[in-house]
Structure 1
Amino acid sequence: MTTSATGATVSARDLSVRYSSSSPETRAVALDGVNFDLSPGEVLAVVGESGSGKSTLARVVALDVDRLDDSSPRISGGELNVLGARVRGISPRRRSRVGLYVGYVPQEAGDRLQPRLTVGENVAEPIYARDRRFNQNDAGEAVATVIDAVRLPLTVMNRYPHELSKGQRQRVAIARAMILEPKLLVADDPTAGIDVTARRAILDIIVSLQRERGFSTLIVTADLAEVRRVSTRVAIMHRGVIVASGQLDEVLATAEHPYVKGLARSQDGGRWSAS
């Protein structure tokens, strides 16, 4: 996999995204003329209130786009390149191939684990999706390595998702996203519904993995306090548009858009919410 012509891991130009008319998500804002670049090894935090389009952006960057089901977002205008691949009109085969290099942690990912599979089997799934004949012992070693990387004891490999806490399940989901050593990680609100201590641990794991492995990261959050833990660069979304981007402190200090001004005014001891 390569970067785009601009040298970016992800590049969006005037990107517009819509849902099919039969989808309930048409009531929410999608994307309307989005522009941004994500460089190799960079971490970009995407911030916005509910319905701002940030989760749609995560989905399309993670290649969850233009599928046959009605709930799938569809690129209706502009261009999106991910790891050198033009996403608009991408074939299923090409999408699957590029997707091997993209780790995706969707919303509530820990609760989407297969309940009848052990943790180890859940994490190993992408390996066998890529190569059904992959050596079982080698797969087991890879799973153990990534389970250790997300700071879980190896004993969890033989347990089932329902036996773990929500925070632990979220770590398993991150391990699953990292098992193929992706060049890009997309994490959509990975700390949602988790207590404060566990949230910090999840963010620290993502930061540690990113620094160690050097992959590009797009992380979605509604909590600006989390931005400071993972990235200094932020893109703020409102009604399907990126209304401000750059270094967090500078964006807030020079805010021009009313929504961004509201975020700046809502600061309280360094912890604020975009929702």
Structure 2
Amino acid sequence: MEISTVAVIGAGTMGRGIAQVAAVHGLTVRLVDTSEAVLQQAFQTIEHHLQRQLNKSLITLEQVEAARKRITCLTDIAAAVADVELVIEAVPEDPTLKGQLFAALDAQAPAHAILASNTSSISITWLGTRTRRPEQVIGMHFFNPVPVMRLVEIVRGLKTSQATFEAVAALAQRLDKVPVAVQDAPGFVSNRVLMPMINEAVYCVMEGVASVEDVDRVMQLGMAHPMGPLALADLIGLDVCLAILEVLHRELGEDKYRPCPLLRKMVAAGYLGRKTGRGFYEYPAA
């Protein structure tokens, strides 16, 4: 299937990044959120990032102007998905919310449309059961920051068809991403490996083994990681890390995935990382 129009549901960090990349690469984009204020902020952020790419000569002025024109911001989901070939869901990592959204999208999107989720841990097979088109439900897990990170995990649910997989993998390549095929399992590959490392780094801080800075320094200098696990957790969002660990712990039932109490405490306090200005580090307002 030729994909030319995509609806991105959720105008947060991931949704706006996905919308930007899709628009730059020639797709017509409907960016959807329930909040006009969030949509306005998202579009301003996209424009800022496009200008930065222009200043670095990564894209041309013509590409910037064309990308801006390809993005339409809407609060009406039904109107946004009425004539699309692909919907990419990028709402918060809440199974109930995502399940309800997929049921609504199934009723509102055209019968031929593919429904993709940017979930980082929730079962694609389960999301497919919320619809009457499980063969057209797939995971399309981008990484933050979307315009920079090239990996996309393409996650097959138990009923995802080969045609759906091929269409989404081809689109990922069109977006200058590298698609990696992953079977449906809690946390897929990326977060099943990454989150226990982040969780253990938080335990090291909670137990006084080393400071935040020194835990990160060990992993950067000793393991050649470009960013320490605690700084990375701040970038991802501590609430997102907690949600993923809870899925891993619940679905796999192993204590190695049990979220560190300090992580729970920080999320409860609203210290979510870069997006709130404070996590394991403090981030001055831009």
Common fold: TM-score over 0.5: no
Higher helix proportion (structure 1 or 2): 2
Q: If the length of structure 1 is used for normalisation, what is the TM-score? A: 0.31
Q: If the length of structure 2 is used for normalisation, what is the TM-score? A: 0.30
The structure, 1 or 2, with the larger RCO (C-alpha pairs under 8 Å, 6+ apart) is 1
